[in-house]
Structure 1
Amino acid sequence: MSATEQAPPARPESDVSSTVGLVGLAGLVAWVAFARWFPDIAEALGWAVPRDTLGGRNSALFGLLAAALPMAAWSILVDKVHLRPSTGLDWSLVRTRRPDRSVTWIKLAGLWATWAIIAGLYCLCRWYWDGQYLFSMQVLGYSAIPLVALSIPYVFWIDRALVNPRDQAWHFGALLLMRPGWDMDEVAKHWRAWIIKAFFTAFMISIIPFAFRTIVTADFAEIAARPERIALTIIEAMFMIDVMIGTVGYIVTMRPLDAHIRSGNPFLGGWIAAFICYPPLVWGILGGGKAINYEHNTAGWLHWLAGHDTLIALWGALLVFLTGIYAWATFAFGLRFSNLTYRGVLTNGPYRFTRHPAYVSKNLFWWCAVLPFLVTTGSPVDAIRNCFFLAVVNGIYFWRAKTEEAHLLAEDRKYRDYHAWMAQNGLLTAPLTRLWNRVRPRSALAGQPAE
């Protein structure tokens, strides 16, 4: 939308209902409560089982199901997302068209080859075979054979309703089998989507057990004794919600749920900015005494507020608020959360106030939790360095945000309308847009997209 066009009078309707994320959150919370109070439940029901909390890794995986199943059920039964044209499905074709099974087998060949290549990459990359990633490799390894087996009836079934059965997986399969008709652009789109899915799914699964166990095994009596413990535990709970709902989003990319990856970000800058923030690049670039470290000789908010319980409670509440926004920005996506992808347009929840609530809240949290300008050495040089490097990290997230916007602006008119509406009406976006338009050169405004 150009600067001369008018923004839509109302905020565009979201492709994700505001309820689907809430029912997923309710399912997750219910499972956490069951896992936490399992000893009492087992005793009350007389079950002959060990009376321990269910804080283990398998229980964490069940937590994913507890979140995913209610969201899937709501999406199908209430939102009826399977009937949307955006799925690429036309269920009337099941009755009127005889599917071409040669297309299906070529697609399966492309899909299985993709999984085999990803498995090979996991084997080659050493960081996947150490520390927290070992759990991911175990889960994915045990899932391999069931996924291959289940993919046959699933693809045979879905091909009966696909308007265009020759999708991206088919193009890759046709390339491998040297069949005519494949398109390299479609192959590139196929691999962008699968690299994103493979990279982030492994990372998210790797951190599930810690996030889940921390909340399930927490000692609430001890936590309630101190305001900082209350704040830190709530923050951990918000982190758990973000991780587990986000993991569901990476796994459940299915057309009948309208949660498929429609496209991966085509901009190299977007990939670089995103991957910098995750292992293995984050280990060498951000923090830990590496290239960009904003925590050198810092002690954090609890150190500087020690002995002032009222201030600790108030500052802890601020950090809880920021983390709550961050978690809300994830579960508002329902089944569609993931980095670097276009899976529809989200305009409700915290996205009513800013286009990037997760990035805003996360970066503000770091400033408030680390307090990089306060250092234990008293050195102004350390304080300046810390503030500079945290500003660099903020800049990386700004870079991520802009590449994500560029991707979505190119894909969907609804996002262009949302982008323009937010520039005039967003609680945070509108004043920042007005400020930016004042400070940038007038020549840059002509013909440029509205902020």
Structure 2
Amino acid sequence: MKARKQSQSQPPASDVSPWVGLVGLITLIAYILIARSWPDISAALGWENNRGRLSGPHSALFAMVLTGGAMAAWSVLVDRVHRNPSTGIEWSRRRALAETADISITKLAGLWATWFIIGGLYCLGRWYWDGTYLFAMQVMGAAIIPLVLVSVPYVLWIDRVMVNPRDHAWHFGAMLIGREAFDAEQVKKHWRSWIIKGFFSAFMISILPGGFAAVVDSSLSDIASDPVRLGTLLFELLFVIDVQVGTVGYLLTMRPLDAHIRSGNPYLAGWIAAFFCYPPLAWGVLGNILQYEVNTAGWSYWFADYPALLWVWAGWLVFLTACYAWATVAFGIRFSNLTYRGVLTNGPYRYTRHPAYLSKNLFWWCSVLPFLVTSGSMVDMIRNTAFLGVVSGIYYWRARTEEAHLLAEDPKYRAYYAWMQDNGIITARLARLMRWMNPRKDAGMVQQPAE
């Protein structure tokens, strides 16, 4: 009985160690401090410095590489994730190269064709060649040849130790070559994964430089006495943490790190809801159709005459932003949208299944205050409030499709879902509220596996 109580008091063990994200966070903060102090460091070492602080786009990219390298090193050297059965790798079983060479060639054909097609889609998308996306295209253009060269020894090596080297990429290659039977469902899984990587990697790299430069170049003089300026700087820092760690997650989808994409979300509704929130669709949907900031002035304007309230509100918004960043950091090297890459049950995910969506939407409501408008127009108030409500509804839609995806994929997530329904500090209360509002609806989406 005691053992049963103990098992029920804790969620299932997380597939991601909390230390991975913490190591990445410490590495990133350390580099930001170095980048800010670079003129002083250069002077102390007697080096000539004509650049000032290291706030440029390549410095932002280097910060991401350092952060990802530190998290990957911890994952392998300390957590030893490469030994996890979920990697699909059996290191003790090393086949002869001749035994897997044909498989590897087929897989390389699939990978290279995938990269070629994604590159073509980048060329067709006009938005990729303007504004911040130009940096992402430059980075990817510089990386493609080294990536193609490195892929050869990597695939030849990994196929020798994979339990089943005929993975999603192999099935796509087999479809192209036409010499062996392929599974169309595996080809679909391959393309779901790579559309996610291609779409979000470009977006994440494109937004690396802006926030990083703002944090590194920011002036700290007199900022501690101004809640608005201090809050804004902390927002920027926390968003930089989110973007840096999130970008690592999209790039390090590798089996030896147990960070590979096991499946992409198969539900069209999930894709539509997610893509509504990012460029280019976000420019038309969230930016125009659902524009909720018409004639708004935000929290700093409405509370300007109440210094104590400014401090309280700034602290609340910083807390929400910190929760949002924590939700990304907790994933370590496994963060990405629309994917299943293991089950995360620690950090903020111990309190709610969707801490990032919850904190992000609360931040928008509390920072924009859409129901307060400078025009005094009731129409503006109603529109802003209704449209932000629709945006929050989109995120709820995203959450439900993600849950459906993970519930179908992993018994551990089903156990986590059920545990959260009864024990999650936020989720359990919301679940009880939903049951009270609709008592005839089954309390959960979970179908418990037979014991």
* TMscore range, shorter length: over 0.9
Query: How much does 1:226 deviate?
Result: 1.5
Indicate yes or no: 2:163 matched with 1:163.
yes
Amino acid across the alignment from 2:411:
R
Deviations, residues 342-387 of structure 1 (Å, cap 9, x unaligned): 0000000000000000000000001100001111111222212211
Q: Which runs of 4+ in 1 moved over 6 A?
A: none
State the alpha-carbon separation in 1 of the partners of residues 262 and 298 from structure 2: 41
Instruction: State yes or no: 1:449 paired with 2:436.
Output: no
Measured in 1, the distance between the counterparts of 2:217 and 2:174 equals 51
Preserved CA contact (<8 Å) 1:270 1:399? yes
What is the DSSP-based 3-state SS (H/G/I as helix, E as strand, rest coil) of the residue aligned with 1:286?
helix
Matched, 1:390 2:376: no
Q: Distance in 2 between matches of 1:223 and 1:345?
A: 40
Do the aligned residues in 2 keep the contact of 1:136 with 1:203 (CA within 8 Å)? yes
**How far is the alpha carbon of 1:99 from its aligned partner?**
3.4
Mapped contact 1:356–1:401 kept (Cα < 8 A):
yes
Q: Which amino acid aligns with 2:399?
A: A
Aligned-residue CA RMSD (Å): 1.6
Name 1:48's counterpart in structure 2: 48
Q: Which amino acid aligns with 2:364?
A: W
Matched, 1:427 2:425: yes
Partner deviation per Cα, 1:314-354 (whole Å, 9 max, x = no partner): 11000000000000000100000000000000000000000
**More divergent stretch after superposition (86-95 vs 119-128):** 86-95
2:330 maps to 332
Question: What is aligned with 1:381?
Answer: 379
Residue type matched to 2:346 in 1? N
Residue type at the aligned position of 2:91: W
**Alignment length, in residue pairs?**
442
Residues 265-317 of structure 1: per-residue CA shift (max 9 Å, x gap): 00000000000000000100113xx1112111111111101132221111100
What percentage of aligned pairs have identical amino acids? 62
Quick check: 13-22 or 378-387, which moved more? 378-387
Cα contact 1:11–1:347 (8 A) shared by 2: yes
Task: Provide structure 1 residue ranges, at least 5 long, that are not aligned to the other structure.
Answer: 1-6
Map 1:14-413 → 2, pairs under 5 A = 14-50=14-50, 52-94=52-94, 99-287=99-287, 290-413=288-411
Q: Any conservation in 2 of the 1:55–1:217 contact (CA below 8 Å)?
A: yes
Letter in 2 for 1:445: D
Counterpart amino acid of residue 333 in structure 1: F
2:222 & 2:214 partners in 1: Cα distance? Answer: 14
Offset, 1:450:
7.4
| CA distance, structure 2, for counterparts of residue 133 and residue 448 of structure 1 | 39
Deviations 1:361-420 (A, max 9, x none): 000001100001111111222212211111111100000000000000000000000000
Q: Is the 1:423–1:450 contact (alpha carbons within 8 Å) kept by the matching residues of 2?
A: no
1:223 Cα deviation (Å)? 2.5
Determine if contact 1:241/1:327 at 8 Å carries over to the other structure: yes
Determine the C-alpha separation between the residues in 1 that align with 2:222 and 2:134: 32
Task: Give the 3 Å change call, closer, same or farther, for CA 197–446 of structure 1 in structure 2.
Answer: closer
Q: What is the Cα deviation at residue 100 of structure 1?
A: 1.8
| Distance (Å, rounded) in 2 between the aligned partners of 1:367 and 1:387 | 9
Aligned counterparts of 1:129 and 1:202: Cα–Cα separation in 2 = 11
Question: Is the 8 Å Cα contact of residues 435 and 443 (structure 2) preserved in structure 1?
Answer: no
Distance verdict in 2 for CA 1:260–1:368, change over 3 Å: same
1:13 aligns with 2:10: no
The amino acid that maps onto 2:34 is: F
Contact 1:136 1:202 in 2 (8 A): yes
Contact 1:238–1:323 (Cα < 8 Å) also in 2: yes
Shift of 1:447: 8.9
Q: Structure 1 length as normaliser, TM-score?
A: 0.96
The offset of 1:79, in angstroms, is 0.7
AA aligned to 1:248 is: V
- TM superposition shift of 1:441: 4.8
Displacement, 1:445?
A: 2.1
Go from structure 1 to structure 2 and tell me whether the alpha carbon gap of 1:282 and 1:45 turns closer, same or farther (over 3 Å shift).
Answer: same
Contact 1:285 1:291 in 2 (8 A): yes
Q: Where does residue 3 of structure 1 map in the other structure? A: none
Q: Which residue of 2 aligns with 1:4?
A: none
Structure 1 residues 325 and 416: alpha-carbon distance in aligned structure 2, compared to 1, 3 A threshold: same
Superposition deviation, residue 51 in structure 1: 5.3
Worse overlay, 293-302 or 43-52: 43-52
CA contact (8 A) 2:414 2:446 kept: no
Closer, same or farther in 2 for the Cα pair 1:380/1:324, shift >3 Å? same
Q: One-letter code of the match for 1:230?
A: L
Q: Distance in 1 between matches of 2:223 and 2:23?
A: 28
Whether contact under 8 Å (1:8, 1:420) holds in the other structure is no
Question: How far 1:440 moved relative to its partner?
Answer: 1.4
Alpha-carbon distance in 2 for matches of 1:406, 1:8: 23
